[in-house]
Chains A and B, each alone.
Chain A
Amino acid sequence: MILSEEIKKSLLAAVWFMFLTFPIMVIRVNTVQNIVEWRWKNMLLVGIAGFFGSFLGRSFFRQKEKGEKKADPNTISVAALVQKITGNQRLSRLALAVIAGFVISFPFAFSLYQINIMISALIYVMLGLGLNIVVGLAGLLDLGYVAFYAVGAYAYALLNHHFGIGFWTALPIGAVIGAFFGILLGYPVLRLRGDYLAIVTMGFGEIIRLILENWNAFSRGPSGIAHIPRPALFGWEMSLEMSTKYIYFLMIGMVLFTIFVVNRLQHSRIGRAWIALREDEIACQAMGIDKAKTKLTAFALGATWAGMGGVIFAAKTTFINPASFTIWESVIILCIVVLGGMGSIVGVVSGALVLILLPEYLRAFSEYRMLVFGVILVVMMIFRPGGIIPDVRRTYQFRKEEH
């Protein structure tokens, strides 16, 4: 009886899918011969795929529900695994050693192309950790985070172009300017939250991009700024390969630094204020927490990392233009935080690696890669709504022992 019910539901899903994909899968307008092709065979395929997909997906869900009722001892959740590893000293040392070994040997074992991909992934790790302060800890939905990234990149590019300021001087300057712009954005949105905040931050991101695109005298408009010097190492002349490896290790250092600082922040007084703000704004105020100050520090400290990330990005690509700082970037960074696990450092790091590396390695699927990527995102959010590695705080704990 359940089976026939399931088959009925799956048939319905198949028909719905056939209807939805009808315009793109069945109709094809041949513009050369001015005729319309009707590819009915595709409809049949969609129908069959929809039917089985729905049927399998549903049975999978049922099993998952069953599994939740009596936890299957054979499957260990990723979060539990991570907790186990970090909890056990020997295991955690071993894991750290393996990761360190991989990280150090990576640039010598792989091609320049691979190293470049890894560098951009590491930049996104930094951006993700920065946005994690705003979104994951303080609970402020920020869709304009890329603006600070752009500010950092342009700060280095312009300062270098006009005043010949080097990378290492520009890095802290980028951080400060990023923080300044964070406060600039923070002030007008102090009273906003949720979807309203998201819209305003999104607008802010677009404003920065449009300014950079249209103020030719200042930013050279869409043609961008070229010949940005790569980071220097005591005035050494470096080949492209050397320089890339150097940036790679620089990025590793920056990521470690970010993780260290964010971890410390999370457990500090201000971190607790952020968490209170995220959980309940009214209660947060009732605890005597300065709401305005807390929000502004979240925006400022989040933007700091984007500013630094921007400086490194400019130094890595040696060329920037406004096209690198569209809203799509903000969305990707937000995806990193949400998909990785809000508020969890390990989660955000793995989220960034998955989200940035996956599309690169999916190039085998050529034009379908973004489709596959989208499907993976949807499936991920269904099966791991808390992220790849959720924040431990968010899982309820029932401990017996005394505190």
Chain B
Amino acid sequence: MLKLKNVQSFYGKIQALKDISLEIQAGEIITLIGANGAGKSTTLMAICGVQPARAGEILFMGKAIHNLSPHAIVGMGIAQVPEGRRIFPYLSVLENLEMGAFLRKDKSRIKQDMDYLLDLFPILAERRHQAGGTLSGGEQQMLAISRALMARPKLLLMDEPSLGLAPLIVKQIFEIIKKINMENQTTIFLVEQNANMALRVAHRGYVMENGRITLTDLAANLLSNEAVKKAYLGL
């Protein structure tokens, strides 16, 4: 579904991505783990078109997207849950969800999806008229995920959904990610620092170090890999 071929990206003179190649099949949950500054978020931003790839190719459903602008990429069916949630703080929960469906025109289906998501997250239904900025961190993360799902994406990109959340909430969020993947067959690309949790929900994983992908395997294998255990799982 999504294919990165030898992608390179630079911040000024500093090379952040060095020949990144990875592949995501439809229906999978793929996770990209690694330490701070390894280039995980940059990879995600390269896919979104926010941080353009200077070399290499990014193919989505067989079409090259590395030269498209960010809104065009969203239009192709790639939605994102940005790092740090990025809720519209003064808009209500419902308005935030409506924004997620900005590119869609099928009003009745939008309403259906909204009802489905409010069903999935009862806490959001309870706070539907509350301003996004007044929600707690966990609620905001749920709102960010639902907002991205309102676009009915083929591929959902998530940047550190566990960031700054209590362990119990993190567990809940990951269960939701699994549920979304199973119920809607939404392909999910998950960038995470919390390697332990991410590898538990993912099918396959990539390990990133200093702008390179150093390891890839089934998530279960990575969980038991000695090197990964030592470096990322703290075992």
Q: Contact between B128 and A403 (Cβ–Cβ < 8 Å)?
A: yes
Q: Which residues of B contact A396 (CB under 8 A)?
A: 130-131, 134
Q: Contact between A285 and B88 (Cβ–Cβ < 8 Å)?
A: no
Q: Mark A258-289, 1 if CB is under 8 A from B, else 0.
A: 00000000000100110110011011011111
Q: Contact between B74 and A394 (Cβ–Cβ < 8 Å)?
A: no
Closest chain B CB from A150 CB (angstroms):
33
Q: Which residues of B contact A403 (CB under 8 A)?
A: 94, 128-129
Q: Contact between B71 and A394 (Cβ–Cβ < 8 Å)?
A: no
Within 8 A of B (CB), among A356-399: 393-394, 396-399
Residue of A nearest to B48 (CB): A286
Contact flag A276-B99 (CB < 8 Å), given A282-B82, A286-B74, A286-B82: yes
Contact flag A290-B99 (CB < 8 Å), given A276-B88, A280-B86, A394-B90: no
Within 8 A of A (CB), among B14-52: 48, 50
Contact flag A286-B88 (CB < 8 Å), given A291-B71, A398-B129, A398-B130: no
Within 8 A of B (CB), among A160-218: none
Which of A273, A275, A288, A397 has the most B CB atoms < 10 Å from its CB? A288
Q: Contact between A273 and B86 (Cβ–Cβ < 8 Å)?
A: no
Q: Contact between B102 and A279 (Cβ–Cβ < 8 Å)?
A: no
Q: Which residues of A contact B79 (CB under 8 A)?
A: 286, 288
Residue of A nearest to B79 (CB): A286
Contact flag A276-B86 (CB < 8 Å), given A288-B75, A290-B71, A397-B129: no
Q: Contact between A280 and B131 (Cβ–Cβ < 8 Å)?
A: no
| Distance, CA A394 to CA B48, complexed state (A) | 31
Q: Contact between A283 and B82 (Cβ–Cβ < 8 Å)?
A: yes
Closest chain A CB from B214 CB (angstroms):
29
Q: Contact between A288 and B102 (Cβ–Cβ < 8 Å)?
A: yes
Q: Which residues of B contact A292 (CB under 8 A)?
A: 69
Selected from B86, B91, B134, the residue in CB contact (under 8 A) with A275 is B91
Residue of A nearest to B104 (CB): A288
Residue of A nearest to B77 (CB): A288
Within 8 A of B (CB), among A278-315: 279-280, 282-283, 285-292
The answer, yes or no, to whether B58 is at the interface (CB within 8 Å) is no
| Distance, CA A292 to CA B50, complexed state (A) | 13
Selected from B50, B89, B100, B151, the residue in CB contact (under 8 A) with A279 is B89
Within 8 A of A (CB), among B77-107: 79-80, 82, 86-92, 94, 98-100, 102-103
Q: Contact between B88 and A280 (Cβ–Cβ < 8 Å)?
A: yes
Q: Contact between B80 and A286 (Cβ–Cβ < 8 Å)?
A: yes
The answer, yes or no, to whether B177 is at the interface (CB within 8 Å) is no
The answer, yes or no, to whether B70 is at the interface (CB within 8 Å) is yes
Residue of A nearest to B114 (CB): A403
| Distance, CA A175 to CA B168, complexed state (A) | 57
Q: Contact between A288 and B151 (Cβ–Cβ < 8 Å)?
A: yes
Q: Which residues of A contact B48 (CB under 8 A)?
A: 286
Q: Contact between B129 and A283 (Cβ–Cβ < 8 Å)?
A: no
Q: Which residues of A contact B147 (CB under 8 A)?
A: 287
Within 8 A of A (CB), among B92-139: 92, 94, 98-100, 102-103, 128-131, 134
Within 8 A of B (CB), among A291-348: 291-292
Q: Which residues of A contact B89 (CB under 8 A)?
A: 279-280
Closest chain B CB from A370 CB (angstroms):
34
The answer, yes or no, to whether B199 is at the interface (CB within 8 Å) is no
Q: Which residues of B contact A291 (CB under 8 A)?
A: 70-71
Contact flag A285-B134 (CB < 8 Å), given A280-B88, A398-B129, A399-B129: no
The answer, yes or no, to whether B201 is at the interface (CB within 8 Å) is no
Q: Contact between B92 and A289 (Cβ–Cβ < 8 Å)?
A: no
| Distance, CA A305 to CA B220, complexed state (A) | 62
Q: Which residues of A contact B70 (CB under 8 A)?
A: 285-286, 291
| Distance, CA A394 to CA B71, complexed state (A) | 27
Q: Which residues of B contact A290 (CB under 8 A)?
A: 69, 71
Q: Contact between A397 and B80 (Cβ–Cβ < 8 Å)?
A: no
Q: Which residues of A contact B128 (CB under 8 A)?
A: 403
| Distance, CA A279 to CA B147, complexed state (A) | 15
Q: Contact between B69 and A279 (Cβ–Cβ < 8 Å)?
A: no
| Distance, CA A394 to CA B131, complexed state (A) | 9
| Distance, CA A287 to CA B98, complexed state (A) | 10
Q: Contact between A286 and B90 (Cβ–Cβ < 8 Å)?
A: no
Q: Contact between A289 and B94 (Cβ–Cβ < 8 Å)?
A: no
The answer, yes or no, to whether B198 is at the interface (CB within 8 Å) is no
| Distance, CA A289 to CA B80, complexed state (A) | 13
Q: Which residues of B contact A283 (CB under 8 A)?
A: 82, 86-88, 99
| Distance, CA A382 to CA B177, complexed state (A) | 46
Contact flag A286-B129 (CB < 8 Å), given A273-B102, A276-B99: no
Q: Contact between B90 and A272 (Cβ–Cβ < 8 Å)?
A: no
The answer, yes or no, to whether B148 is at the interface (CB within 8 Å) is yes
| Distance, CA A292 to CA B71, complexed state (A) | 10
| Distance, CA A291 to CA B82, complexed state (A) | 16
Q: Which residues of A contact B71 (CB under 8 A)?
A: 285, 288-291
Within 8 A of A (CB), among B125-163: 128-131, 134, 147-148, 151
Selected from A279, A398, A399, the residue in CB contact (under 8 A) with B88 is A279
Please list the 7 inter-chain residue pairs (A to B) with the smallest Cβ-Cβ separation, ordered nearest first.
Answer: A288-B74, A283-B86, A279-B88, A288-B103, A290-B71, A287-B102, A286-B80
Known: A280-B87, A286-B148. 18 other contacts (CB 8 A): A272-B99, A273-B102, A275-B91, A276-B88, A279-B91, A280-B89, A285-B74, A287-B151, A288-B71, A288-B75, A288-B103, A290-B69, A290-B71, A292-B69, A393-B91, A394-B90, A397-B129, A397-B130
